[in-house]
Homo-oligomer: A and B are copies of this chain.
Amino acid sequence: MARRTLPILKRVLSKPPSLIGLLSRLDPKRSVTYMPRPGDGAPRPVTLIPGDGIGPLVTGAVEQVMEAMHAPVYFERYEIHGDMKKVPQEVLDSIRKNKVCLKGGLATPVGGGVSSLNVQLRKELDLYASLVHCFNLPGLPTRHQNVDIVVIRENTEGEYSGLEHEVVPGVVESLKVITKFCSERVAQYAFEYAYLNNRKKVTAVHKANIMKLADGLFLESCREVATKYPGIKYNEIIVDNCCMQLVSKPEQFDVMVTPNLYGNLVANTAAGIAGGTGVMPGGNVGADHAVFEQGASAGNVGNEKVLEQKKANPVALLLSSAMMLRHLQFPSFADRLETAVKRVISEGKYRTKDLGGGSSTQEVVDAVMAALD
């Protein structure tokens, strides 16, 4: 356990690399200082997986913007497609070397024998937490205001174990596996995230009134971790009530920690109320690696029409790449990128179809590059 927490501890202690930073760790309110160490500007390699569907389009957008900013990252491209049987070994080696990856979506065929490559990648690299940040972008009208929700979802077990069998023809059993180990580490990540980002409340989403042992174990783990963070409020909500509260009063939620399936649904619902899956950033993180991608993709990689007309929304992946820049310790580049993207959205002249405009991907990218200062 110590081996896993060491890199995280390192990252926490190195973020404000000054004594003031260390002292302020005792304070509940932290401020990040932008004082780099010599050599921090050396270019960092990042694995890039364009993916399927709109993937190549939006990852191309990120590459252009990174060039325009002269950000100290360079990409190592690897082509994977959703119909491959498994993730190629060279890609996994590259991610293990670089520790950071940016990817577009990989299409998952419905039914059939091929398992999802997205899920494979997460299990191979043990990316145990998936994070989606759903928030109202200023200037983008939505039905719900004051939305600022971070959904942290357990990524490796639960209903996605892939353990199914047909008992007799016409009767199928599907196993949902919940372990204390996985529940504990995702709860630990959620509370740590809340602590590091000055969040006030963590909500655990469950259905333990029906699945008493499975979700009960998840809840137990969350409660244990909650006792270690007395400064952060903790509450629990049953998933059906949660869905209803999300669409009626989303402002009550702050950080949400959930098992695998509920997290998928809650993240997509939250993304939908806050502006759509085209603008929400997110990523998958493990103890050693991080893969950044569009936050909530609603399980598809864009439809044919959007692809032909090249009108996919690059905002989600641009904001995710800003998260990636912060992860790589380049906060000022991240701030510049986010400011530029938010300015383009709030001005409203260049918006893709899912936000109500008619621009193409390239037009939005050009606008972002022009807005960089």
Q: Which residues of A contact B (CB under 8 A)?
A: 108-113, 115-116, 119, 143-144, 159-160, 162, 164-166, 169-181, 207-214, 216-217, 219, 238-241, 243-248, 261-262, 264-265, 267-269, 271-273, 276-277, 296, 298-300
With A219-B111, A246-B272: A213-B165 Cβ-Cβ less than 8 Å = yes
With A217-B170, A219-B111: A209-B116 Cβ-Cβ less than 8 Å = yes
Contacts of A181 on B, CB cut-off 8 Å?
170
Are A243 and B214 in touch, CB under 8 angstroms? no
Chain B nearest CB from A69 CB (Å) reads: 31
Chain B nearest CB from A263 CB (Å) reads: 10
Chain B nearest CB from A319 CB (Å) reads: 17
Give me 22 A-to-B residue pairs in the complex whose CB atoms sit less than 8 angstroms apart, sorted by A's number. A108-B209, A109-B209, A113-B212, A116-B210, A143-B144, A170-B181, A170-B217, A171-B177, A171-B178, A171-B179, A172-B177, A174-B214, A176-B176, A238-B300, A240-B265, A240-B267, A241-B268, A243-B265, A244-B298, A247-B269, A261-B261, A265-B265
Instruction: Identify 7 new A-B residue pairs, CB closer than 8 A, beyond the known A116-B210, A162-B210, A172-B213.
Output: A110-B238, A159-B210, A164-B214, A174-B177, A238-B300, A243-B243, A248-B276
Are B296 and A244 in touch, CB under 8 angstroms? yes
Stoichiometry, as copies per complex, reads 2
Are B298 and A269 in touch, CB under 8 angstroms? no
Are B164 and A172 in touch, CB under 8 angstroms? no
Q: Out of B208, B213, B271, B299, name the residue touching A238 (CB < 8 Å).
A: B299
Output the residue of A109, A209, A239 with the most chain B CB within 10 A: A209
**Complex: A192 Cα to B243 Cα, angstroms:** 28
Are B180 and A170 in touch, CB under 8 angstroms? yes
Are A111 and B241 in touch, CB under 8 angstroms? no
With A269-B243, A300-B241: A173-B176 Cβ-Cβ less than 8 Å = yes
Contacts of A261 on B, CB cut-off 8 Å?
207, 261
Chain B nearest CB from A368 CB (Å) reads: 24
Contacts of A239 on B, CB cut-off 8 Å?
264-265
Are A212 and B272 in touch, CB under 8 angstroms? no
Are A164 and B212 in touch, CB under 8 angstroms? yes
Are A272 and B244 in touch, CB under 8 angstroms? yes
**Complex: A108 Cα to B143 Cα, angstroms:** 33
